[in-house]
Structure 1
């Protein structure tokens, strides 16, 4: 039996008036366009994933996460261009490149950050299994809708999906569904003919309303970042995901407290388990760096003890990190950066694996791709080492006496 070609198209323009750079904005450490790519690649029914964009940076991000990128012409990249036109162009480009036609085409919006691979898969299967010509994700809705009206110049309001004189109980109402704007699937031939996402028999793929969010303005983006720790499936990197590990110091390798003696000398506490984890990473050949904004002898002393390089007293940690990656020949997307506070956020936006320690500031936890269970200064770095080297990490336990 021939496997149908199911092409997922993700439109992602570079320009956005509501949120500049929106499609590259990270949520839980992953750009919005990459979150959409990840959901599509995780759907078994999808055979090919293409990002349609006019922006080279978006194209690079799409390729980095495993999708193809199609350069969208300027006439299809303006505010008035339809999503359908971008999908049709991407279909043509795909078929010209691969020499095969799509049987099913999906329109997947990266402005819906919480779509899942299961939702993408189910929407595609409604077409591949012949139950529908078009399908889309929708969420149950029980709201009463109103429309403002004007009568005799006095204004007013009237019910849209209800009679305002008759308000049935929720359990007595016919089910209604809200189009989420996240995923649409169409039989490719029918889509080419009708040039619209709805034709023939249309079916709903019912989704969890708690996951429905479309990012149109900065407030939506802030809500997405706050919700990500609650809605995303927790993931941690493995050795295959990482080429280097960069560590903040204060609050990450310490508990963020400073002890000062009568002469003004500063002292901090570190965790022996972190030292053992760093030693194991060093023995495994993982490039390591301590990166700190503090110009403090204790940071340099700790780096010497651990036998790893250090950059401290750095004003722009992100620029220093980018320069270090260039010098080491390391792709920032394959760097794990562990931090705890807001001055780590620029580095979080640069790397592929931003990691917050368990005691990190809420905004840092929201921006992280992974969060340790352990607080900073209590073994969080050892926990990260165990992610990368496996739960059987062969480091002797630190002595307690």
Structure 2
């Protein structure tokens, strides 16, 4: 049974559950935050995918005032509710956005939800299982509201406004420092996912009415993006926390586009006394590219360098090449249009900062091992092999099977 069929069957016996993802465009702490990529995927798309993967969720709606966010949300599979200006400013509450989305979704579909979720884009590592856990706490365990929490062992301090430079303990007496195992277990609200009964939410107008269930989550995955430093940490963690789903399959890809220097080579150049340049490539990469071609996947080499060695390598591999390109992203976009290929179905492999515009265009930006740190942070997947040392064959093995890795 397909995922769609399974969800349809489930809705016949389970309550209707609407997931609402607020994603306005006017973030101040991190401009453009909800479109910022983590693991190569915009934050709003990560939230949508987590909700879409939750088996207990019936529908997913993104509430936004930003056309670019709306486009990304739709591409990720969500419905979009355009939020009025009156509830899209800095002081607007998430509750107001959720109430508006509930009304708009009911007007669009003619169906009302029994349980509503508020899922935040700012928690990039929320899982579908955690979202299902929030729903189950309400639909199966009888809670009125539920939200994600994680164990917290810190001593909390607060500055004392009546004593300059002084402070006092909030969850402890500063004169006594008990061992962690002797203290009550504190739980930190993660800010990732909240659930509530729809009728109770409409009556209370806030998310914590009635009995509130606490859904425990993995502390390693808890991170809220409120400042630029938080975004840097999320990008550093993504290759570790996204590892289970970090590589694409053949079903995800319609074309493969490859940078040349540093991606198909080791990024070194030898020059003889006449100025002729020589580079080193990997024979395994050639086998991988040949296998991709046999599998019917279009392959393109795209390079900023105007160099006969690039053209010669492309002829050897029997793949088209565009080189001497200043704006690789524009050339890639035109190539996709001419070949009827959707950019979100393209895997682009690169290694340096001039590949970043292409990373922002495609659905699967891939960095080779040893790529620039900024490029690795923007990638959705990273190879274990370096450029010029079998990285392209490794990518081919992701798509076509492990026999290519031998």
Selected match of 2:117 from 99, 106, 123: 106
| Structure 2 match to 1:391 | 402
Selected match of 1:127 from 119, 138, 141: 138
Q: Please, which moves more after superposition, 317-326 or 40-49?
A: 317-326
Task: Give the distance between the partners of 2:161 and 2:45, measured in 1 at CA.
Answer: 46
Q: Is the 8 A contact 2:325 2:331 kept in 1?
A: yes
| Structure 2 match to 1:318 | 329
1:133-212 alignment to 2 at 5 Å? 133-151=144-162, 154-212=164-222
Compute the displacement of 1:136 (Å): 0.5
2:360 alignment partner, SS class: helix
Task: Give the distance between the partners of 2:217 and 2:21, measured in 1 at CA.
Answer: 19
Describe the superposition over 1:293-344 as per-residue Cα deviations: whole angstroms up to 9, x where unpaired.
1111101111111122111122222222222222223221111000112221
Task: Give the distance between the partners of 2:177 and 2:285, measured in 1 at CA.
Answer: 61
Q: Please, which moves more after superposition, 212-221 or 384-393?
A: 384-393
| Structure 2 match to 1:301 | 312
Residue 6 (1) aligns with residue 11 (2): no
Q: Is the 8 A contact 2:239 2:382 kept in 1?
A: no
Unpaired runs of 5+ residues, structure 2, are: 1-11
Q: Please, which moves more after superposition, 110-119 or 226-235?
A: 226-235
| Structure 1 match to 2:296 | 285
Task: Give the distance between the partners of 2:168 and 2:286, measured in 1 at CA.
Answer: 67
1:372 alignment partner, SS class: strand
| Structure 2 match to 1:215 | 225
Q: Is the 8 A contact 2:235 2:377 kept in 1?
A: yes
Task: Give the distance between the partners of 2:243 and 2:116, measured in 1 at CA.
Answer: 27
Task: Give the distance between the partners of 1:328 and 1:20, measured in 2 at CA.
Answer: 34
Compute the displacement of 1:116 (Å): 1.1
Describe the superposition over 1:45-95 as per-residue Cα deviations: whole angstroms up to 9, x where unpaired.
111111111111111111111111111111111111110111111111111
Please give the TM-score of this superposition, normalised by the length of structure 2: 0.93
Please give the TM-score of this superposition, normalised by the length of structure 1: 0.94
Task: Give the distance between the partners of 1:112 and 1:317, measured in 2 at CA.
Answer: 32
Q: Please, which moves more after superposition, 364-373 or 296-305?
A: 364-373
Q: Please, which moves more after superposition, 264-273 or 99-108?
A: 264-273
Compute the displacement of 1:209 (Å): 2.2
Task: Give the distance between the partners of 1:266 and 1:366, measured in 2 at CA.
Answer: 31
| Structure 1 match to 2:6 | none
Compute the displacement of 1:154 (Å): 4.3
Q: CA RMSD in A?
A: 1.7
| Structure 2 match to 1:382 | 393
Task: Give the distance between the partners of 2:308 and 2:134, measured in 1 at CA.
Answer: 58
Compute the displacement of 1:106 (Å): 0.3
Using a 3 Å threshold, how does the CA distance of structure 1 residues 287 and 159 change in structure 2: closer, same or farther? same
2:91 alignment partner, SS class: coil
Q: List, as ranges, runs of 4+ consecutive aligned residues in structure 1 with deviation greater than 4 Å.
A: none
Describe the superposition over 1:355-385 as per-residue Cα deviations: whole angstroms up to 9, x where unpaired.
1122323332222111222221122212212
Aligned length in residues: 394
1:374 alignment partner, SS class: strand
| Structure 1 match to 2:61 | 50
Task: Give the distance between the partners of 1:239 and 1:150, measured in 2 at CA.
Answer: 61
Describe the superposition over 1:232-282 as per-residue Cα deviations: whole angstroms up to 9, x where unpaired.
233211122112111000111111111221222111111222112212222
Using a 3 Å threshold, how does the CA distance of structure 1 residues 55 and 154 change in structure 2: closer, same or farther? closer
Describe the superposition over 1:181-216 as per-residue Cα deviations: whole angstroms up to 9, x where unpaired.
110010111111111110100011112222221111
